[in-house]
């Protein structure tokens, strides 16, 4: 159309030669290919290699010990330090205790429980006492906390995976509860069951183990004064990743015996079918006493890495509690009954 003035034609010398123009496009293509490929491959490889490995600290930042419940009526204000305790100075740091956990109900990695534990609702909470007891009943956690004075007990915790911690638990002896509910003369074992609720425990949607998690003890082990029902650690209520609100602690046995988030305590005549022993009977026994002389079929149990220390340390028979518990197993061949 008329009336529109075109800009002047560029002079010949100003026009980019076609070869150079093509090279620029070529350069951009190459640079783009390089950047996209190196970034994509680098990110993918990093992601793949970090899956499954316990991932690092950012988790810890979101955690802090929740303040102790207010009011003088709180059972927490009158913690008795048990004579069974190790010195508290030896305890593994709170951040490690609360971010490095095996709790497959929340996922398989060590950091998954700390990340996922928010989905667990621990109030209200009640525990069924059932089986061979004179009065089967369901007890609210609050009542349990009123019944028994809480103690602080600093115990070694030895995982079957050859690492260990020292944890200042808060709880009461299981024996106190069992005596109160009165087992019948038929009771020979105690079975503990973790809450089954895949909405709260997303790990239960995968069938990596048979759910719900069940652990068990012989009655004499359950009545032993070292056996603890824990409701807290480091002076505060348990966090989800540590098995809130109620868990078992048996310090001379491998950590997997310590059933978490317990909803049922049943006294039985027969030995309960416990989760790991059922999943891999050649690797995990019912007793599961810490024993440096009996290796896991796939790895050595002679030494352990105490979380927070670089050097491995020797694993002690019965995790250092032999004087208190070895008599329970007198006459048994512990290489066969492991």
Partner 1 sequence: MTVARRAWLVPAVLTGTLVPFGVLAYRAATSRLGPNPVATALNQLGLLALTLLVASLLATPARLLTGAKWPLKLRKLLGLAAFFAALLHLAVYVVLDQGLDFGGLARDVVSRPFIAAGFAAVLAMTPLALTSTRRALQLLGPRRWQALHRLAYVAGVLGVVHYVLRVKAFPTEPALYGAVLGASFAVRAVLGRHARSS
Residues 251-280, interacting with partner 1 (CB under 8 A): 279
Burial class (CB in 10 A: 0-12, 13-18, 19+), 3: exposed
Using the rule CB under 8 A, is 30 a contact of partner 1?
yes
Residues 283-322, interacting with partner 1 (CB under 8 A): 298-300, 302, 305, 307-308, 310-312
Nearer to partner 1, 300 or 335 (CB): 300
Residues 160-189, interacting with partner 1 (CB under 8 A): 161, 163
Using the rule CB under 8 A, is 28 a contact of partner 1?
no
In angstroms and rounded to an integer, the radius of gyration of the C-alpha atoms of the chain is 29
Nearer to partner 1, 81 or 208 (CB): 208
- Contact code string over 196-215 relative to partner 1, x by CB under 8 A: ------------xx------
**What is the rounded CA–CA span in Å between residue 121 and residue 244?**
9
Nearer to partner 1, 156 or 224 (CB): 156
User: Shortest gap between Cβ of 271 and partner 1 (angstroms)?
Assistant: 22
Of residues 158, 177, 156, the one with CA closest to residue 166: 156
**What is the rounded CA–CA span in Å between residue 206 and residue 239?**
23
Q: Are 262 and 192 in contact (CB under 8 A)?
A: yes
Nearer to partner 1, 284 or 329 (CB): 284
What DSSP assignment string belongs to 28-88?
HHHHHHHHHHHHHHHHHHHHHHHTTSPP-THHHHT--PPPPPSSTT-GGGGPEEPTTPPPG
Cα dihedral 121, 99, 60, 311 in deg (nearest 10):
170
Which of the stretches 1-9, 95-103, 117-125, 325-333 binds partner 1 when contact is defined by CB under 8 A?
Answer: 95-103
Q: Could you list the residues that contact partner 1 (CB under 8 A)?
A: 26, 30-31, 33-46, 48-57, 92-93, 95-96, 99-100, 104, 108, 110-111, 161, 163, 208-209, 279, 298-300, 302, 305, 307-308, 310-312
């Amino acid at each position: 159309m008329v009336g529109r003035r075109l800009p002047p034609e560029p002079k010949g010398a100003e026009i980019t030669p076609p070869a150079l123009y093509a090279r620029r496009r070529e350069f951009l293509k190459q640079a783009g290919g390089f950047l996209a490929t190196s970034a994509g491959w680098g990110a993918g490889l990093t992601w793949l290699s970090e899956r499954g490995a316990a991932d690092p600290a950012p988790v810890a930042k979101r955690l802090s010990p929740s303040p102790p419940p207010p009011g003088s009526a709180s059972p927490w204000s009158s913690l008795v330090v048990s004579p069974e305790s190790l010195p508290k100075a030896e305890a593994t740091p709170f951040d490690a205790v609360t971010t490095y956990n095996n709790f497959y109900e929340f996922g398989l990695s060590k950091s998954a429980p700390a990340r996922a534990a928010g989905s667990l609702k621990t109030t209200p909470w009640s525990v069924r006492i059932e089986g061979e007891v004179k009065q089967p009943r369901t007890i609210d956690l609050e009542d349990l906390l009123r019944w028994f004075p809480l103690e602080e007990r600093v115990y070694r915790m030895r995982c079957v995976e050859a690492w260990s911690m020292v944890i200042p638990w808060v709880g009461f002896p299981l024996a106190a509860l069992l005596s109160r509910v009165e087992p019948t003369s038929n009771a020979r074992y105690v079975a503990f069951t973790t809450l089954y609720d895949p909405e709260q425990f997303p790990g239960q949607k995968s069938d990596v183990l048979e759910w719900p998690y069940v652990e068990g003890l012989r009655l004499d082990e359950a009545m032993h004064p070292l056996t603890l029902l824990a409701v807290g650690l480091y002076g505060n209520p348990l966090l989800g990743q540590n098995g809130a609100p109620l868990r078992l602690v048996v310090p001379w046995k491998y950590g997997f015996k310590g059933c978490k988030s317990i909803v049922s305590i049943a006294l039985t005549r027969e030995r309960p079918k416990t989760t790991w022993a059922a999943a891999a009977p050649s690797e995990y026994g019912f007793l599961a006493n810490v024993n440096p002389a009996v290796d896991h079929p796939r790895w050595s149990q002679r030494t352990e890495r105490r979380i927070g220390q670089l050097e491995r340390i020797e694993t002690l028979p019965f995790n250092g509690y032999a004087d208190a518990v070895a008599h329970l197993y007198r006459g048994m061949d512990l290489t066969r009954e492991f």
